[in-house]
Amino acid sequence: MAQDKKQVEQITDMEVDFAKWFTDVCKKAELIDYSSIKGMFILRPYGYAIWENFQKILDEKFKETGHENVYLPMLIPESLLQKEKDHVEGFAPECAWVTMGGSEKLEERYCIRPTSETLFCEHYANIIHSHRDLPKLYNQWCSVLRWEKTSRPFLRHREFLWQEGHTMHATAEEAIAETERMFNIYADFCENYLAMPVVKGRKTDKEKFSGAEATYTVECMMHDKKALQAGTSHYFGDGFARAFDITFAGKDNQPHHPFQTSWGVSTRLIGGVIMTHGDNNGLVLPPRIAPTQVIIIPVAQHKEGVIAANEAVMARLKAAGIRVKMDASDNSPGWKFAEYEMKGVPLRLELGPKDIEKNQCVLARRDSGEKVFVSLDNIEETVKTMLDAVQQGLFDKAKRNLDENTYACATLEEVEEKMASQGGFAKTMWCGELACELKMKEEAGVSSRCIPLEQEHLGDTCACCGKPAKHMVYWGVAY
Amino acid sequence: MAQDKKQVEQITDMEVDFAKWFTDVCKKAELIDYSSIKGMFILRPYGYAIWENFQKILDEKFKETGHENVYLPMLIPESLLQKEKDHVEGFAPECAWVTMGGSEKLEERYCIRPTSETLFCEHYANIIHSHRDLPKLYNQWCSVLRWEKTSRPFLRHREFLWQEGHTMHATAEEAIAETERMFNIYADFCENYLAMPVVKGRKTDKEKFSGAEATYTVECMMHDKKALQAGTSHYFGDGFARAFDITFAGKDNQPHHPFQTSWGVSTRLIGGVIMTHGDNNGLVLPPRIAPTQVIIIPVAQHKEGVIAANEAVMARLKAAGIRVKMDASDNSPGWKFAEYEMKGVPLRLELGPKDIEKNQCVLARRDSGEKVFVSLDNIEETVKTMLDAVQQGLFDKAKRNLDENTYACATLEEVEEKMASQGGFAKTMWCGELACELKMKEEAGVSSRCIPLEQEHLGDTCACCGKPAKHMVYWGVAY
């Protein structure tokens, strides 16, 4: 047996040290590697293949809703970044600056884009003149750079891959509808593809994107009950348009400023998938985004006809549109089982000489460990049904985790006590004042996750100060 | 008529000023826009859609041949770039340097990748240990940055989009075979998708990639008879592997250095398409890569039933897998004709009340201007056949341009005379010495394009110095 290639090593127990478990999975499932620059990671083929699946699904949804892809420069002149006051304050502290071109010192510093609102605004000022030029519905797939002090695979990279949508509209109503449309696409993507149930809401003023009037967010709960902000969609009003002097001639022939949105998700979502579904055997991938949905492992593969029978099943599954691979290497079955469990492949199909005689095979689910013998007749449909069951099973389990760890609290003390004993999301009434939000952070260690769109009336007064409440808010500890 | 949206303006005559014609087309066909940083361009939706088609086709070919996509950081520490001597000499003069992260001066400068050999080598040193880890067949889609002094849309960007393949192999033979395989994929892509006939060959030592042992190139001839290097594939031997200390345990249990290749094509190919096929009405796109293959223009669209009949044809073409759009805007037919000619849409389909009565429509070819009435019966097949005819017609025309402007010369003087009077590619025998290559540049103004794989015996002596000839070489003026 050639097991020298790679030993399947133990990973840290997730209940003992979740953070260590997470980085172990990222490394051992070969999603990521480190580079020589702190905080800049390598997306290995398996990790990148997951991102490609995200891209394919989202790009189709963006195009279906009328968006077009573009590519803008990666560098922003410092003077351009400074045009919108709130925006520059938010991003300048974490910009990487280019100061030399070849051997010459540049006259002006350029930052590597941390996000591209300013570049899009500069371009829009050039191409938007009339109401006939609106809406502009652009999206960009690229990497951005934020010079963070700390880093973790997927969750906090100095450079990360993402998509950023930037749109311009003739009216505020239309722009707000776009902000909500894209936010709903993110929520749908998280729930129906990543099997990650979401809480949909708006950010408080404190947590809003720099320069935005409103930020919509989808918040997910990880296995360790911490929150992950999975995607955000921003409404800017005409603030940037004014700062960048973007005007169009309306139907009334008068100049107007257009209304703007931006929205983005990143490779951080891969971190969310790992932390939502993973277990002590490694990664667990929802079938809809798994690079390999079924791994076929021939049993007693040296015996006559075994490989051929396995290949025939593989061909049938492939023809049915299932992403399937076979491992007929000389590694031991035990090694192979552990390897594809680590990689989170949703289904394992085993087929040996006895199975061939009986016209059957074994299907083993990665999520539950359940193993069943099934007939090879109609194996395509059987596999598809089981993949759907895994997808649904993962969602249901994550939904239970979210529901069981979300609770109403009447006072700050109660939040503090529950967060210490249980973690998760505390929901309380809130007066809307920054002071109470800061106090919640200081005393209970939680930040506001969102003001959910689906409001509940838990009481009349703020859990913090006792003044009249304006909103119901979710609080939690966030990645 | 609402023609205020955009006037179709005249572009410069290509025979009067080809360079100006080219930038006019880039702007007017809405492929590109300028940004505030010199040499950094914006790829607008139409330009980016062409690039997406290139990506789709090439990515599939890469994956079919066993390659996997990855993503490596965009920054290279200066010390890493310096590990391979020839490489750093070639690239350091045109690097953009990051010296500040947030408000802090970095201890070491990082350059934005001009190409990623060094980053891949660093990663390969971490993940290649045994002959079982080979080959590694990686590709990356990304942008790179080269701080050039001059710039032109598509042809010379400071930042440009490309793909870069980087592979490692156990033997030199295998690496050379890979270099040739990818080079052949590029040649096939240029000829069969972009309709650009190629000359396949190796670069001279002077023109090789910095650090490579051999560079294979596909060279194309533009409408103005200048050369465009369309794609290159490099064989590195084990030079980088030694410099980066990459070793693997062979089957003999001894340490060995692996052998390396890299290969890339970029958005520059879009420039090639424009300059190969374009005319005085604008862009002409080969159907296989055109974002829109057929534009439908309803005639007398206000009349009853016209829009519905046009939509029905559109639905049929769409269902047949044809990329089709309809323009039922209130712009005039004349405006629409000029607009889609400018954008190079291969076929225009016109359908009005009289056509509907006769169960026919008009098809107009963008390349030849030919207009024919065709039956709506079996319109799907008729359109497909005509798209194929356009594809072939574009190739044939470009091939004639290449053949008619490629000629054998016996002496340097002859090259000089022919280049001045006709331009194009001169082929001569060559001794292999740098001195003659430099003299050819100085006196005839041409650079060596390649040493074609298909050698011809034009004589026994070098056209420059009269010494015994080693190779037949193509010379030309290059973009």
**Mean pLDDT, to the nearest integer, of B239-257?**
97
| CA nearest to A323, candidates A3, A36, A109, A46 | A46
User: How many CA atoms lie within 13 Å of B396's alpha carbon, on the beta-carbon side?
Assistant: 8
Q: Rounded distance, CA A74 to CA A97, Å?
A: 12
- Contact assignment for B35 to A101 by CB distance below 8 Å: no
Buried residues in B307-334 as b, exposed as e (16+ CB within 10 A):
eebbeebbebbeeeebbbebbeeebebe
Confidence at residue B4, expressed as pLDDT on a 0 to 100 scale:
40
Minimal CA separation from B362 to chain A, in Å: 29
**Mean pLDDT, to the nearest integer, of A97-105?**
94
* Bond from prior residue into B135 cis (ω within 30 degrees of 0): yes
With a cut of 80, say whether residue B316 has pLDDT above it: yes
Q: What Cα–Cα distance (Å) separates residue B314 from each residue in A60, B334, B351?
A: 20, 21, 11
| CA nearest to B450, candidates B241, B229, B288 | B229
Q: How many CB pairs under 8 A join A and B?
A: 152
Q: What Cα–Cα distance (Å) separates residue A150 from each residue in A7, A147, A267, B133, B454?
A: 30, 9, 17, 32, 56
Radius of gyration of chain A (CA): 25
For residue A447, what are the contacts with CB-CB under 8 A and spacing of at least 6? A207, A437, A440, A441, A475, A476, A477, A478
With a cut of 60, say whether residue B6 has pLDDT above it: no
The helix/strand/coil state of A370 is coil
- Contact assignment for B42 to A123 by CB distance below 8 Å: yes
Dihedral angle of Cα B461, B467, B469, B472, to the nearest 10 degrees: -70
**What are the respective helix, strand and coil percentages of chain B, to the nearest 5?**
35, 30, 35
**Mean pLDDT, to the nearest integer, of B16-44?**
96
Chain B residues with CB under 8 Å of A49 CB are 68-69
Chain A residues with CB under 8 Å of B35 CB are 72-73, 119, 122-123
Minimal CA separation from A151 to chain B, in Å: 14
**Mean pLDDT, to the nearest integer, of B198-220?**
95
CB-CB contact of A179 with A163 (8 Å):
no
- Contact assignment for A77 to B5 by CB distance below 8 Å: no
Confidence at residue A84, expressed as pLDDT on a 0 to 100 scale:
83
For residue A107, what are the contacts with CB-CB under 8 A and spacing of at least 6? none
Chain B residues with CB under 8 Å of A1 CB are none
| CA nearest to A81, candidates A106, A107, A124, A115 | A115
**Mean pLDDT, to the nearest integer, of A386-411?**
98
- Contact assignment for A33 to B123 by CB distance below 8 Å: yes
For residue B197, what are the contacts with CB-CB under 8 A and spacing of at least 6? B190, B191, B220, B221, B395, B398, B399, B402
Report the residue from A42, A122, A127 with minimal CB separation from B36: A122
Radius of gyration of chain B (CA): 25
Q: Where exactly are the structural domains of chain A?
A: 18-277, 294-392, 405-476
With a cut of 90, say whether residue A412 has pLDDT above it: yes
Minimum CA–CA partner of A34 in chain B: B123
Banded model confidence at residue A3, pLDDT cuts 50, 70, 90 = very low
Contacts of B2-10 with CB under 8 Å at 24 or more apart are: B2/A132, B2/B329, B2/B330, B2/B331, B3/B331, B3/B332, B3/B335, B4/A130, B4/A132, B5/A130, B5/A132, B5/A133, B5/B331, B6/B339, B8/B335, B8/B338, B8/B339, B8/B342
Q: How many CB atoms lie within 10 A of CB B295?
A: 23
**β-strands A425-430, A406-408: how paired?**
parallel
pLDDT tens for residues B281-309? 999 999 999 999 999 999 999 999 999 99
Report the residue from A5, A33, A109 with minimal CB separation from B130: A5
Minimal CA separation from B102 to chain A, in Å: 5
Q: Rounded distance, CA B262 to CA B378, Å?
A: 46
Dihedral angle of Cα A134, B39, B81, B233, to the nearest 10 degrees: 90
| DSSP H/E element including B169 | strand B159-169
pLDDT tens for residues A297-320? 999 999 999 999 999 999 999 999
pLDDT tens for residues A332-380? 999 999 999 999 999 999 999 999 999 999 999 999 999 999 999 999 9
Report the residue from B49, B99, B147 with minimal CB separation from A99: B99
pLDDT tens for residues A48-77? 999 999 999 999 999 999 999 999 999 999
Minimal CA separation from B396 to chain A, in Å: 32
Q: Which two tokens stand for residue A299?
A: 């049993």
Q: Rounded distance, CA B89 to CA B74, Å?
A: 19
Q: Rounded distance, CA A134 to CA A247, Å?
A: 11
Report the residue from A44, A122, A159 with minimal CB separation from B74: A159
> Phi, psi at residue B75, to the nearest 5°?
-110, 140
Confidence at residue B212, expressed as pLDDT on a 0 to 100 scale:
92
Q: Which two tokens stand for residue B439?
A: 């003299």
Q: Which two tokens stand for residue B264?
A: 């890339």
What is this structure's pTM? 0.96
Q: Rounded distance, CA B57 to CA B68, Å?
A: 15
| CA nearest to B258, candidates B233, B237, B289, B286 | B237
**What are the respective helix, strand and coil percentages of chain A, to the nearest 5?**
35, 30, 35
Banded model confidence at residue A8, pLDDT cuts 50, 70, 90 = low
Banded model confidence at residue A9, pLDDT cuts 50, 70, 90 = low
Q: Checking phi first, is residue B369 left (phi over 0); if not, alpha (psi -120 to 50) or beta? A: left
Q: How many CB atoms lie within 10 A of CB B31?
A: 28
> Phi, psi at residue A275, to the nearest 5°?
-80, -15
Q: Which two tokens stand for residue A445?
A: 């260690």
The helix/strand/coil state of B88 is helix
Minimum CA–CA partner of A56 in chain B: B56
Weakest-pLDDT range from A170-174, B48-52, B90-94: B90-94
Minimum CA–CA partner of B47 in chain A: A70
Chain A residues with CB under 8 Å of B68 CB are 45, 48-49
Q: Checking phi first, is residue B237 left (phi over 0); if not, alpha (psi -120 to 50) or beta? A: left
- Contact assignment for A49 to B33 by CB distance below 8 Å: no
The amino acid sitting at B39 is G
**β-strands A104-112, A96-101: how paired?**
antiparallel
| DSSP H/E element including B296 | strand B294-298
| CA nearest to A424, candidates A478, A357, A461, A378 | A478
With a cut of 50, say whether residue A229 has pLDDT above it: yes
Report the residue from A70, A77, A97 with minimal CB separation from B48: A70
Minimal CA separation from A91 to chain B, in Å: 9
Q: Which two tokens stand for residue B107?
A: 């201890």
Weakest-pLDDT range from A81-90, A224-233, B335-344: A81-90
With a cut of 90, say whether residue A2 has pLDDT above it: no
Mean pLDDT rounded to a whole number for chain A: 96
| DSSP H/E element including A75 | strand A75-77
Q: Rounded distance, CA B415 to CA B417, Å?
A: 5
Minimum CA–CA partner of A41 in chain B: B73
Q: Rounded distance, CA B207 to CA B234, Å?
A: 12
**Mean pLDDT, to the nearest integer, of B207-226?**
95
Confidence at residue B9, expressed as pLDDT on a 0 to 100 scale:
66
B294-392: which CATH topology?
A: Rossmann fold (3.40.50)
CB-CB contact of A300 with A353 (8 Å):
yes
Minimal CA separation from B152 to chain A, in Å: 15
Which burial class, exposed, middle or buried, applies to A407 when counting CB atoms under 10 A from its CB (0-12, 13-18, 19+)?
middle
Sign of the alpha-carbon torsion through B199, B200, B202, B206: positive
For residue A355, what are the contacts with CB-CB under 8 A and spacing of at least 6? A299, A361, A362, A373
Domain A18-277 coded CATH 3.30.930.10: yes
Where does A405-476 sit in CATH, by number?
3.30.110.30
